[in-house]
Structures are given as structure tokens and as C-alpha cells.
Structure 1
Amino acid sequence: MMLLDNDFFGGTNWQANLERIAELKLKVCFVQGLNIRILSDRQAELLAKVNYSNSKFNKKYLTFAWDQFKDERVIVRGIERCNKWGIPCQNMQFFILIGYDTTPEQDYYRVEFLRKLGCKPFVMPYNKSDKYQKAYTRYVNNRIIFNSCSWEDYEYNPNRKSLNHFVGG
């Protein structure tokens, strides 16, 4: 089941809906992501009982967002709640808005912080024509590149047709 609700926990029926999804053993994708900033213990507990998935239904993970740098404390609290109820970091993907009201250093911090926890960062550029945002998006969102070199060692070339440079070819 693909849920298109961009504020699932903001609705009044979230608990009944999660209980029903778990009861029916439905595979569900919260494609718009879930708001980890407001995630309660009860919500994390019920999410852990659901057969959640990515949008291709081939990997087990939930999607959250970390758009504002200042939200680190509530993001960490939400991650800890998920972990407490059995949702490991490796099953969490985070959309990370870059370039809106953050510096490149703040963008890098969020990506590396989540990476160190084992979460999957996914960068979303505010300005797709900005050279830094374009390069950083390609670096983070291409898992082959992201997992094979550091940002400091990454050389962005928008005309490169091959990834051989990064994978030893």
C-alpha cells in the first residue's frame, strides 16, 4: 500500500490506521515521509509492528526529513524512539534539504551525522542550478560514490559518463 499522506501523524486516525495496517499484514510505504520531530513513543512502537517499505517495495525502510539544522535535538530524540521499539538506523532514510537556510558546513554535518548512525541520507537541493548543491546532491545520492570516497576526495564532473573513477575501473 502506498500512502500519500504528507502529515500522517497529524491526522486523528493515525493509531487506528497503523493498527489496521499491522493487523492486515499490509506492506506499506509512507512515500511522503513521516515527521520524526513529533514522533511519540506510541507512534514508534506501532510503526515497528508495521511491514514498512521503500517506494519500490524492495527494501525495508522508513523515510523522515531533517530540513532545518536547528532540529538536531528532536531528530535525535525521534531516532532514539525508533531504535527503542526495534526500528534500526539502517532502516531509516532522511530527506535533507540543502541550500535553503543552511551553509555547506551545516549540510555536511547533517549528512555525516546520519551516516555515522547508519541512516541513509538523501539530499534535496533547494537550488538545482547552484554548483555546490548540484555536486553535493550527486555525491550523497549516488550510493556507489557516497560509499567509496569522502566528500573531500570527490571530484565533481557533470560531463563524466562513467563511475569507473570511483569504483576502481
Structure 2
Amino acid sequence: MKISLLTDCPKHNLALMKLSTYHKKAGDQVKLNMPLWPADYRYGSYIFENGIRFGDQERGGIGARPKVRLPEDIEKLMPDYTLFNVDHSLGYTFRDCYRKCPFCKVPLLPQNLLHHSIWEFHEKRFDTIELLNNNTFFDTLWEYTFKEIYKAKLKIIEHGMDLRMLDDHKAWWIKRLMWKNEPKFAWDQMKDEKKITEGIKLLQKHKIEGTIYVLMGFNTTFEQDLYRCEIINSMGSKPFPMLYKPTKELRRFRRMIYLRYYSKYKSIKEAWKDYKRGRRK
């Protein structure tokens, strides 16, 4: 059979990588993102709600049908790392997050409380592993994951750990692991300021250089967005704006932060005033 796999994911799609493994084992021919190819069967997996859709017979993904799951026998398969141009392993050791944040789509996904070993998806030829977990620290066995990664001497990529759940022991492990890039965290809502700043103090204590995502344009004012970036910067971490509803002002502010224009100033507020006026230090 000719199997067509379709997605709008810019980097990789784990579900399609497992479907590719399944069909290649069955002797099928598999092609990615070739919608005009005369395939016998098409799968689509999408992350964006309003993207282009093609004539797929089965469709899933958080942007299309978030409740759709792979059959268990396919879910257990090793991903096909040749399908996308990736140079590291990727997968989930724990999928769920219990926060139910109003801006997040993770609560729409089917509940999955199982812990998984990295060896269910890690290939030994890679020296780096990417955890796709939505909240690693909600996994009661999170330390087993970190131990496996440490013992295998792997570099780690993680898309955002929960500062509100950080303690000395977790911070000790974060410092101990080898990171492909800086470890990532998030400050999404103003109401979490106390817990977030306590978490950042732990990063300082353990000498962890982290990047902290700052959700902007959801339920905060620009002044509150700037304030959070200011606090993060003053405590030795790097703010990283994430725009929920982009505006011209937010895009410009984000550009200033990405360029680290503020590093020459005493405060981000001062830097922003000059940046808006087109001044340069």
C-alpha cells in the first residue's frame, strides 16, 4: 500500500512517526507531506485549527481532533526518526498536566497517567533526548526519568518545567543534567507571582541559568507583561515573550527582548523607552 502522512507541524510529529514505523514494518510505502501523491490511504495530524486540510481518511492532532489516540499497538512502537530531519530522540515519559490553564489546549487531550521509560523511544545512536511532556513534575516518577537521562549521559531538551513545583531536590537534578540549551520555565499568569519568584530564587541558589517564557496578550496588560520581564531579568534569568494575541506593540517588544537590546540598560523599562523612539545605546 501507498501511505500518505500529512501534517502542519514545522519540526516533527510523533504520532506520524509511529504510524510510519507501523506501515513500514508491514511493507508499505510511506511519504510525508505529498498531498498530490496518489496514495491508497492518508493520515492527517494537525496542531493549527485553521490550517489547510487535505483528503485524509483519518485525522487527529490538537488542532483538529484532540481526543483521537493511536491504537495501543502503534503507540508502543519506536518512532521512525527518518521521517523528519531530526538528530535526537523525542517522546513522552508523562503526558498529563492537571493545571487546566484557560489559555491551554492540553486539557482537551485524552487523560494519560502512565509513566514511560525513555528507552521506549530513545535510540542509542543519538546523544540528545527531547521530552515532549506537558508537565514533567506532575509525574510522581519524574526522578526516574532524570536518572535514566543522567546515566545514559544524554543532553536534554525540555519545553518548560513548572517553577511553581520547584524545590531544592528538583533544582539539584536540573543543575546536574546536561542541557542542549538552557532549561526552560514559564510565568503565564500574574496571580502566580509569589510562587514564581520563589522558584526563580531556587534557580539563583543552585546557579541555574534559565529562560522563562512570559505569556503576553491573554489576560494581562502590557504594563504587567513588562513587569514580569523586569522581575525575571532582575533575578538573573532571561525572559522570553510568548504572544497569545499578537499586537504591533507586543511584536515590537518581543523583538527587543529577542535581540537582548535591554542588556545595555539598567532596566527593561528604560530600554523599551529608547527602543520605541528608535534610539540606540
8 Å CA contact retained: 2:204, 2:235: no
Q: 1:67 to 1:107 in 2, by over 3 A?
A: same
Output the TM-score relative to the length of structure 1. Answer: 0.78
Unpaired stretches in structure 1, ≥5 consecutive residues: 55-60, 158-164
Aligned to 1:155: 276
Count of aligned residue pairs for this structure pair: 148
Structure 2 counterpart of 1:107: 225
Q: Secondary structure at the match of 2:273?
A: coil
Gaps of 5+ in 2: 1-128, 266-270
**Secondary structure of the structure 2 residue equivalent to 1:133:** helix
**How does the TM-score come out when normalised to structure 2?**
0.49
| 1:28 partnered with 2:156 | yes
The structural deviation recorded for 1:76 is 1.4
- Alignment CA distance shift 1:24-1:156 (3 Å): farther
Matched, 1:141 2:263: no
Cα offset, 1:155, TM superposition: 2.6
Q: Higher Cα Rg: structure 1 or 2?
A: 2
Identity of aligned residues (%): 34
CA offsets, 1:72-106, max 9 Å, x none?
Answer: 1111111222333x233xx1101101121111111
| 1:65-84 matched pairs, under 5 angstroms | 65-84=186-205
Q: CA deviation digits over 1:25-56, x for unaligned, max 9?
A: 211111x21111111322112222111232xx
Q: Deviations over 1:52-81 (max 9, x none)?
A: 232xxxxxx210000111211111111222
Indicate which of 170, 187, 202 corresponds to 1:43.
170
Query: Aligned-residue CA RMSD in angstroms?
Result: 1.9
Match of 1:12 in 2: 140
Q: Take 1:23 and 1:87, find their aligned partners in 2: how far apart are those partners?
A: 22
Structure ranking higher in helix proportion = 1
Give me the whole-angstrom Cα distance separating, in 2, the residues matched to 1:74 and 1:100: 20
Partner amino acid, structure 1, of 2:210: M
Q: Distance in 1 between matches of 2:280 and 2:133?
A: 38
Distance 2:249 2:263 in 1: 19
In the other structure, the counterpart of 2:179 is 52
Structure 1 pair 76/24, CA: closer, same or farther in 2 (3 Å)? same
Is it true that 1:62 corresponds to 2:183 in the alignment?
yes
